[in-house]
A and B are shown apart, each in its own frame.
Chain A
Amino acid sequence: MSRAIGKVLAALLFTLLLTPLSAAHAEDTAVISGQIVDLKGKPIAGVELTIAGPNSQETVITTVTTDAAGNWSYTPTVAGQYFVTINPDTLPSGVGLTEPDKTTKSVVLFALTKSPPPVQFLTGPGPIKATMLETATQLAVDGFILSIMIALAALGLSLIFGTTGLTNFAHGEIITMGGLGAYMFNKWYGIHIIPAAILAIVLTVVLSGWAQDRFIWKPLRKRGTGLIAMLVVSIGLGLLVRYTYLYIFGGDKEQYAQYAGQAGWQFGSLSVTPKATITVVIGIVLLVLAIMWLLKSTMGKASRAVADNPALASASGINVEKVIQSVWILGSVLAGYAGVMMGLNQGVQFIMGSDILLLIFAAVTLGGLGTAYGAIVGSFVVGMFIQLSTLFIPTELKFVGALFVLILVLLVRPQGIMGRKERIG
């Protein structure tokens, strides 16, 4: 009996002795740990974390990965301050950090016997990550939209260049007039954007198309002003008009009252807004109409004749001035619409036209200066290249890539893709 009691006592004693002992033993191996879960509390596996320390963020010790339960841990060998850095790229699609710039957390380990509290990385909805192919498809769609915008402006620029020889550095301001004009009718006079856009294009045609040619370029042609002098005049005009826009409208980027924040249509991972689709379709229709005009109408044929040889065209009874007038009007319809399209999809600003002027020049030069179809082909090369190149280069440098390609093309094929050789010499 007493033996039995003694045994129980011994067992009790043993348990009593052992319990703190085993606890102390667990405290000996402090771990830095944490669990990464998404918004719904579901654990996330496969997230990489970099552990650095002790006491220095520079000395990286190891990289750990979360297991199926979202847990990760690291057992340090010395006490001190440790730095845990999460690699946000390893988070799954649609999950992001709630504080995206705080990827590093520090944790202080006072002694090897006491684990610090778990390191928390809070997650929320993050960017949807797409595969390379999905990204490329989205970029191609964006590139197509940009290409149409550039092509609309480039065709007009190229036609004006072809018929008058004017390298018009103020062409971007025609685009801006379309965009800002629509903004003016829309926001100042409270007209719905669709009639406002039509009014803006009419205004662009009258001011930038008809009046600009009638009161600036026609008198200069009459005086026999040289082409380089006219080019400098166009630079001056561009500067004057651009800063007049700034003077009147201020420098901020503005949105139209309607359709500003439109939800996109989702096709799988692809997202296209209805406004982009509709404006692109109208853009294509306008481009096709312009080409039909060039190919079929008497005036269009005459304009090609003037582009080829103004003196001969004039001698064969073509009214060159009238042709030039219609080319200016066509050019400003296209550019004015390009401005409205840009305004709807990206917002309006006084500098919107001159910002893409260089891309338009790149497109026209790539296609071959003075060739109408070349301008459209060049626009697609430039537009698609700009968007697709962001797969490989930072987005902020995408224009740099396009302009660089322009320089490269001029090295190997100076007449452009569709240009004829005799034009360049």
Chain B
Amino acid sequence: MDFQFIIQQSLSSAIGVNAIMFALAAIGLNIHFGYTGLLNFGQAGFMAVGAYTVGVMVVSFNISLWIAFASGIVVSILLALLLGIPTLRLRADYLAIVTIATAEIIRQIARSVTFKEYLGGSDGITGKFGMDFYNLNPFPGGLETPFLRFTPQDLWVVIVGWVLVAIFSFFTFLIMRSPWGRVIKAIREDEDAVRSLGKSVYYYKMESLILGGIAGTIAGFVYAISRQSVQPDNYSTALTFFAYAVVILGGAARVFGPVVGSIIFWFLIVFIEQVLRQAVSADLIPEWLMNPNQVGQVRFMLVGLSLMLLMIFRPQGIFGDKKELALDARA
């Protein structure tokens, strides 16, 4: 087995585009789920909105990438309002069902033949729509070291991406220390108590939904720009569940929880996948037990299993504080 290659792939993934994307999406989910106690199962929908707005506006309508970014954020705010208005007054599981349904609606509309002309159907949108961004790339060459490897384009995305992650984490840190953040956390613990203090729980929840949604949309931007393509089936509900695994792994209601969670998550996923792949091709694992096609499926099984085990045995994740997190509340 080529351990240097395995480590290189795993490390590059752990600080690469995937980790950044999931860190951003998970920061948003952390605001929803960790701090406010909102069960948003439609984070994939927010990401799809971000990615598709960029793709459609730049490729189909030839609008500048920067305007597309701004519009993506506006659309995500509208989506949050659409999700929040009917459900935020209801019990938590209603939001869960409506958000997961909406994310699925977005994906099915995106891949439909009916809107193929603009949204590209099941093939999605491909094109050089990140060029406005890549033209600013100051790095002439990529990175090639024994343990890390990035193309010049990836390097630029990674650097800007981590700056974004840092900004969002710092922002989360600030707002959760503010009076607003204290109300948000109080809503998670006991909605009725907050209501009795004269706060409008509904508006606070809505603001939280919008903020977290914007983080998800920006994760969608990163995804779309880094691949220069948008594919509808990447935005399935599994994406949301991966992001949940990241939040819970790192520790919900912790500023750095999603970031650390994402790094560890992607290191482990790629590490295990590469080890299995090499073991299968070196015939260390018999053919009847696992063939090369099945290696990719192990990823999903592992994520499912770790979500279960974490939630059962260590709901606070790696860095979380059990006292901070009262997930038991039947909100």
Contacts and interface: CB of A to CB of B under 8 A. Distances in A.
Interface of A: 165, 167, 220, 224-229, 231-233, 235-244, 246-247, 358, 361-362, 365, 369, 394, 396-397, 399-400, 403-404, 406-407, 410-411, 414, 423-425
B318 interface: no
B175 interface: no
Contacts of A361: 97, 100-101
Contacts of B114: 394, 396-397
A237 B308 contact: yes
Contacts of B331: 228
B96 A236 contact: no
Nearest to A396: B112
Nearest to A241: B304
Of all A-B residue pairs in the complex, the 10 with the closest CB atoms, nearest first, are: A226-B328, A236-B307, A239-B304, A240-B304, A236-B308, A243-B300, A403-B101, A411-B86, A410-B86, A243-B301
A246 B300 CA distance: 10
B86 A414 contact: yes
B91 interface: yes
Given A237-B308, A244-B301, A407-B102, A226 B91 contact: no
B150 interface: no
B101 A236 contact: no
Task: Tell me whether chain A's interface is mostly helix, strand or loop, or mixed.
Answer: helix
Contacts of B241: 235-236, 239
27 contacts: A224-B328, A226-B326, A226-B329, A228-B329, A229-B311, A229-B312, A229-B328, A232-B307, A233-B307, A233-B311, A239-B303, A239-B304, A243-B297, A243-B298, A247-B298, A358-B100, A358-B101, A358-B104, A361-B100, A369-B93, A369-B94, A400-B108, A406-B97, A407-B82, A407-B101, A414-B89, A423-B91
Nearest to A167: B93
Interface string B81-103: 01001110111111011101110
Contacts of B328: 224-229
A231 B100 CA distance: 13
A410 B307 CA distance: 29
A266 B294 CA distance: 44
Contacts of A247: 294, 297-298, 301
Given A365-B97, A400-B105, A233 B312 contact: yes
A224 B315 CA distance: 13
B306 interface: yes
B167 interface: no
A231 B39 contact: yes
Contacts of A397: 108-109, 112, 114
Interface of B: 37, 39, 82, 85-87, 89-94, 96-98, 100-102, 104-105, 108-109, 112-114, 238, 241, 244-245, 248, 294, 297-298, 300-301, 303-309, 311-312, 315, 326-331
Contacts of A227: 328, 330
A213 to B, nearest CB: 15
A330 B257 CA distance: 41
A247 B302 CA distance: 12
B105 A225 contact: no
A239 B327 contact: no
A63 B9 CA distance: 62
Given A224-B328, A232-B307, A365-B97, 16 more contacts: A228-B327, A228-B330, A231-B93, A233-B307, A236-B309, A236-B311, A243-B300, A247-B301, A396-B108, A396-B112, A396-B113, A397-B112, A403-B104, A407-B86, A410-B98, A424-B91
B92 to A, nearest CB: 6
A263 B57 CA distance: 48
Contacts of B311: 225, 229, 232-233, 236
A403 B106 CA distance: 11
Contacts of B301: 239-240, 243-244, 247
Contacts of A423: 91
A5 to B, nearest CB: 78
Nearest to B240: A235
A235 B244 contact: yes
A406 B94 contact: no
Contacts of A240: 300-301, 304-305, 308
Contacts of A238: 304
Contacts of B305: 236, 240
B96 A424 contact: no
Contacts of B98: 406-407, 410
Contacts of A239: 238, 241, 300-301, 303-304, 307
A276 to B, nearest CB: 25
A49 to B, nearest CB: 25
Q: Which of B85, B112, B303, B307 has the most CB of A within 10 A?
A: B307
A243 B301 CA distance: 6
Nearest to B89: A414
A406 B94 CA distance: 11
A394 B113 contact: yes
B85 A411 contact: yes
B48 to A, nearest CB: 14
Contacts of B94: 365, 369, 410, 414, 424
A423 B100 CA distance: 21
A423 B238 CA distance: 30
Nearest to B122: A396
Contacts of B309: 236
B304 A403 contact: no
A425 B91 contact: yes
A101 B45 CA distance: 35
A183 to B, nearest CB: 18
B167 to A, nearest CB: 28
Contacts of A394: 112-114
Contacts of B87: 410
Contacts of A226: 326-330
A231 B329 CA distance: 12
A61 to B, nearest CB: 26
A384 B304 CA distance: 34
